[in-house]
Amino acid sequence: MAALTESLSERFQESVSRRFNWQYFLQDNITGSWLLTVWVVVLGLATLFLTIRQLGVFPTATTIILTIWLLGILIVAAEGLHIRHSRLGRWLKANLLSSVSNTLITLFMLLVLYALANSIWQWAVVNATFSPAQTMPELRSQDGANWGVIIGAWDLLMVGQFPRDEMGRVQVTAIFFIVLAVISFVANKTGIWERIKPVRRILTALWVLSPIIVYIFLAGVPAEGPLINPVTLIAGEVIILLIFAFLWWQRVIRFSWPTLIGWALAWPVAYVVWRLIGQSGLFPPINPALWGGLLLTLVIASAVILLSIPLGMALALGRRSEIRGIPWWLIWPVGIILTIYFLSTSTPELLEFAQNTWQRVLAFWPLLIIVAALILQRAFRGNVIAATSTAFIEFVRGVPLITLLFMAIIMAPFFLPEGAQIENVVAVIIGYALFSAAYMAELIRGGLQAIPRGQYDAADAIGLNSLQKMRFIILPQAITIVIPGIVGQFIGSYKSSSLVAIVGLFELMGITKVIVANPQWIGLRLELYVFAGIIYFTGSFVMSWYSRRMEARLAVGQR
């Protein structure tokens, strides 16, 4: 029996020696260079010191971590020696335990992550308080979180100063979006979206109309709205029909009488429905200045995202436009005439009131007209659309967002008729949307430049006009290419909406200043910031997850 055991042991050792070479192992992982040796020794000592310390603080948990780590090493060793193959062994070898240094780093990080997770658990759950009554300074937990401030200030965090007797409208809005999103997801997942076209059209129409529905719910409709001017009604009808006719003439959409009638009736029907809703009193007006908290954050972020896409697309196409420009023989005479006119009318008056050298220099601003004419002719060959789009993009990208937000609030009244007013929320959304559109334009322009020239030539070869080429060939491919960048811009717009607090709007981050000003909640900033961080992370993660899902689906469709 002893002889048999000794024989089996010798065979195992011989098998291992054939499959494993200690010399190569040490050279690859420890003794390959003096720098590698020093790194492994320092890392090993640091890991040993941390393990001994964690055994003293968390003996049970550290023992479990060490056991799992050693078991993983055995599984990887069995995989490497071709003794036992498994999917787990291949994954561990490829990701965590591929070398001695990676094995030590894995143990080190496991111990650190456990210590961090345990500290967060102790602070956020074990030693935390959850009652709003225990948020007074003398009753607070000193070792844990005081989540009672979140519960006590829940309404402020969600809707700000929104009237409490109208909270049902906010809840209906949330339910509307949740139900619409669930139905759209189920319809898309089960294929109903493709098989039953009316379902797709209805869901698309609801998503398109959702901004108007949200505005009616949250802002309300006045009972005594202005009567529509017949001239305005006719002008609106003419504009809608001209747009429809132009798109049909360019073969971008198909002509059908139901579609034509629907577009023709859209403007008067929308006005009648608006008046009926206002006269019914179901949604009395609410000042948007009362919006706040998460509600205002979502409104600003959604509006900016929705507006920045078409504006950015128009700016990108405008910057790349190659239409025939204004000829030089027309640019220079007009530029010279305007320069002479303003030099004779504006400059003397400015020089008269100038108080320093800088103001005297600014008095000769009409000379910039000649510079603008030179740039228009030399850089853009008279293409006003490309010049305007480029100037707008470069100017906006060179100005901080805060500056544009202040400009939007201060300068908005100058663009309105006398007596008209605009809420700061609307002005901020417009300024923020223009800022985001400039960056969106550059993203889309990058996608347009990534399209091979052969795609343009192929579209021209089959007889497509410019609109058809962009609508059916170029833009779909360009948007697909830049989906990661576009979603990144969406996430940035969503998170950067917190900057509107600087201009006096109490969104999710701004409302925290109001909450901590309450004597009962003073000093409880950390809990509020953690809650806001979770909200921002959740929204960003959802957008990122949907982006990856869309990329995977488009990749499958392209194959």
Query: Do residue 317 and residue 350 come from a single domain?
Result: no
Domain boundary among 180, 203, 220: 220
Give the pLDDT of residue 15. Answer: 52
Query: Do residue 319 and residue 413 come from a single domain?
Result: yes
DSSP 196: -
pTM of the entire predicted model? 0.85
Would you call 401 exposed, middle or buried from its count of C-beta atoms within 10 A (0-12, 13-18, 19+)?
Answer: middle
Query: Do residue 377 and residue 417 come from a single domain?
Result: no
List, in order, residues 6 or more apart from 108 with CB less than 8 Å away.
Answer: 43, 46, 47, 50
Whether residue 149 is contained in a domain is answered as no
Give the pLDDT of residue 3. Answer: 53
Instruction: Give the count of domains, the chain.
Output: 5
Give the pLDDT of residue 4. Answer: 44
Query: Do residue 418 and residue 395 come from a single domain?
Result: yes
Query: Do residue 208 and residue 235 come from a single domain?
Result: no
Q: Which of 248, 169, 184 is nearest to 214 (CA)?
A: 169
In tens, the pLDDT along 222-249 reads: 877 666 667 777 787 888 888 888 888 8
Whether residue 395 is contained in a domain is answered as yes
Query: Do residue 426 and residue 502 come from a single domain?
Result: yes
Domain boundary among 126, 143, 173: 126
* Positive/negative CA dihedral, 124, 127, 132, 138: negative
Length of the chain: 559
User: What is the Cα–Cα distance from 458 to 231, expressed in whole angstroms?
Assistant: 45
DSSP 103: H
List, in order, residues 6 or more apart from 203 with CB less than 8 Å away.
Answer: 180, 183, 184, 187, 193
User: What is the Cα–Cα distance from 506 to 514, expressed in whole angstroms?
Assistant: 8
Whether residue 10 is contained in a domain is answered as no
Whether residue 4 is contained in a domain is answered as no
Q: Is there a contact between 39 and 100 (Cβ–Cβ < 8 Å)?
A: no
Domain boundary among 347, 382, 417: 382
* Side-chain-facing half-sphere of 516: CA atoms under 13 Å: 14
Query: Do residue 251 and residue 365 come from a single domain?
Result: no
The stretches of 379-482 forming alpha helices (DSSP H) are 384-397, 401-411, 424-450, 453-461, 466-468, 475-481
- How far is CA 411 from each of CA 247, 329, 498, 506, rounded to the nearest angstrom? 35, 36, 22, 21
- How far is CA 174 from each of CA 180, 190, 204, rounded to the nearest angstrom? 10, 24, 18
Whether residue 492 is contained in a domain is answered as yes
In the beta sheet, which residues pair with residue 507?
293
Residue 543 domain boundaries: 290-323+383-517+524-558
DSSP 165: G
Whether residue 407 is contained in a domain is answered as yes
Query: Do residue 319 and residue 330 come from a single domain?
Result: no
User: What is the Cα–Cα distance from 293 to 511, expressed in whole angstroms?
Assistant: 6
Give the dihedral of Cα atoms 170, 171, 174, 175; nearest 10 deg: -150
User: What is the Cα–Cα distance from 192 to 201, expressed in whole angstroms?
Assistant: 12
Give the pLDDT of residue 88. Answer: 85
Give the pLDDT of residue 446. Answer: 93
Query: Do residue 105 and residue 60 come from a single domain?
Result: yes
Would you call 118 exposed, middle or buried from its count of C-beta atoms within 10 A (0-12, 13-18, 19+)?
Answer: middle
Q: Which of 511, 64, 140, 80 is nearest to 290 (CA)?
A: 511
Query: Do residue 508 and residue 433 come from a single domain?
Result: yes
| Longest distance between any two alpha carbons in the chain, whole Å | 118
User: What is the Cα–Cα distance from 449 to 389, expressed in whole angstroms?
Assistant: 17
SS3 240: helix
Continuous segment of H or E residues that includes residue 210: helix 197-219
Give the pLDDT of residue 277. Answer: 86
In tens, the pLDDT along 289-330 reads: 899 999 999 999 999 999 999 999 999 999 998 888 889 889
The two counts, helices (H) then strands (E), for the chain are 26, 0
Residues of the chain where predicted confidence (pLDDT) is lower than 70: 1-21, 82, 192-195, 225-229, 419, 555-559
Whether residue 144 is contained in a domain is answered as no
Query: Do residue 231 and residue 316 come from a single domain?
Result: no
Tell me phi and psi for residue 146, to 5 degrees: -115, 80
Whether residue 87 is contained in a domain is answered as yes
List, in order, residues 6 or more apart from 453 with CB less than 8 Å away.
Answer: none
Query: Do residue 185 and residue 274 come from a single domain?
Result: no
